[in-house]
Amino acid sequence: MENTIEKKVLLSGIQPSGDLHLGNYLGAIRNWARLADEFDCYFFMADMHTITVRQDPPTLRRHTLQQLAQYIACGLDPQRNTLFIQSHVHEHAELAWVLGCYTMFGELSRMTQFKDKSSKHSENINAGLFTYPALMAADILLYQPDYVPVGEDQKQHCELTRDIAQRFNNLYGEVFKVPEPYIPKVGARIMSLTDPASKMSKSDAAGCVFLLDKPEDIMRKFKKAVTDSDTERCVRYDPQTKPGVANLMSIYASCTGRTFDEIEAEFEGKGYGVFKPAVGEAVAETLRPIREESERIMKDKAYLESVYRDGAERASRTARRTLNKVYKKVGFVAK
Ligand code: TYM
């Protein structure tokens, strides 16, 4: 294996609370796959986070393994990236407890994801949902990463992580590296195809394109995508007045590498009836190899098991070092 000592460290995770979707791919994973050469990378399945909302246990297990298969199919080579399941590395839960004692009630109350999820799941506003950002800070700080590549919606949690790290360092010396969020310029916030005012999310199946969707389903979803209510039926990038079109343009730009100017020129004089299927086709072509490869990998359970076991072992080695340091700093007696 290559020497990673001098490389900067990068870490990120996704909740296996459903199938991965285009927002996860364009906002996060696709960028991760490009970074393996340059960085020492850790990517995980955030299964502990998912139980803040009730999950069906067999489905959660399936989604977790499927997500691992999809990570690999998206280009995350397990030889060059540490891929692991969060609950396999118990240091996450342990550090989360400590960091929870350095995170303020007021800070947690201001988190948008907490506000959103507690309004969506008003029957189950549990303590885990509230303290979720302390677990996320632990996920990150255990590995001393330089960067955390995420979509726009996770910026607030990353900023809180920085505040917690700084607070801890101010008390105990330089224990944690203070990481930077790393947010892509295009694709950081993919919106729902049926409601361009809300972000694409697995809970809204009609407006969401899943990585495992078949090309005909992808085409159907794009043909039905909401564009504009204004009368100017042209392809022009203006997120304020034409949020639906801007979203489709961002998706098209992310999949084809074209700029917004080039896209406007390409569709000049053509209506949405031409534009929407073109976006659908670009997405279907981008996702086709990922779907085929994940289906193939999913069948090889022994391979998947060897990947997540090896990943957890490697992740634990790093995580243990940080946790030992933290325990010593806060005054716990060494074993
Ligand atoms: P999650 O599981 O909701 O999303 C995973 C990643 O996908 C990005 N993303 C999007 N990007 C663009 N457009 C969208 N519509 C869209 N929807 C999701 C997210 O920004 C994220 O990068 N709390 C995290 C999971 C997590 C984590 C971590 C991330 C747990 N621990 C440590 C980084 C580091 C979450 O709920 O992401």
Q: Give the integer Cα–Cα distance in Å for 236 and 238.
A: 6
Q: 77, 36 in Cβ contact below 8 A?
A: yes
**Where would I find the beta strands (DSSP E) of the chain?**
8-14, 39-45, 81-85, 147-149, 180-182
The residues of the chain scoring below 50 in pLDDT are 1-4
- What pLDDT, on a 0 to 100 scale, did the predictor assign at position 47? 98
Degrees, nearest 5: CA angle 48-18-74: 95
- CA 89–ligand 1 middle distance (angstroms): 20
For ligand 1, whether the C-beta of 49 sits within 6 Å is yes
- What pLDDT, on a 0 to 100 scale, did the predictor assign at position 172? 98
Q: pTM, whole model, 2 decimals? A: 0.93
- Residue 68 in tokens: 């691992």
Looking up tokens 């996770």 gives: 154
Q: Give the integer Cα–Cα distance in Å for 252 and 237.
A: 12
For ligand 1, whether the C-beta of 209 sits within 6 Å is no
Which residue numbers are catalytic?
Answer: 117, 199, 202
The alpha carbon dihedral of 96, 102, 103, 105 has a sign of positive
Q: Whose CA is nearest to atom 16 of ligand 1?
A: 23
- CA 154–ligand 1 middle distance (angstroms): 6
Which of 141, 154, 195 most suits a substitution to test ligand 1, by most atoms within 8 Å of the C-beta?
Answer: 154
Cβ-Cβ contacts under 8 Å for 153 (sequence gap 6 or more): 112, 113, 189, 199
For ligand 1, whether the C-beta of 23 sits within 6 Å is yes
Q: Give the integer Cα–Cα distance in Å for 328 and 173.
A: 12
Tell which atom from ligand 1 comes closest to the C-alpha of 139: 32
- CA 158–ligand 1 middle distance (angstroms): 11
Cα dist. 264→237, 244, 249, 267, 283 in Å?
Answer: 8, 15, 9, 5, 18
- CA 229–ligand 1 middle distance (angstroms): 30
For ligand 1, whether the C-beta of 136 sits within 6 Å is yes
Tell me the pLDDT tens digit for each residue of 77-114. 999 999 999 999 999 999 999 999 999 999 999 999 99
For ligand 1, whether the C-beta of 50 sits within 6 Å is no
- CA 215–ligand 1 middle distance (angstroms): 25
Tell which atom from ligand 1 comes closest to the C-alpha of 132: 23
Q: How many CA atoms lie within 13 A of 121 on its CB side?
A: 17
For ligand 1, whether the C-beta of 179 sits within 6 Å is no
Cα dist. 290→18, 24, 66, 70, 299 in Å?
Answer: 17, 13, 12, 7, 14
Pick from 178, 93, 75: nearest CA to 132: 93
Query: Residue 170 carries which side chain, given as an amino acid letter?
Result: N
Pick from 222, 209, 230, 229: nearest CA to 248: 222
For ligand 1, whether the C-beta of 190 sits within 6 Å is yes
Please state whether 144 falls in left (phi above 0), alpha (psi between -120 and 50) or beta: left
Q: Give the integer Cα–Cα distance in Å for 296 and 148.
A: 29
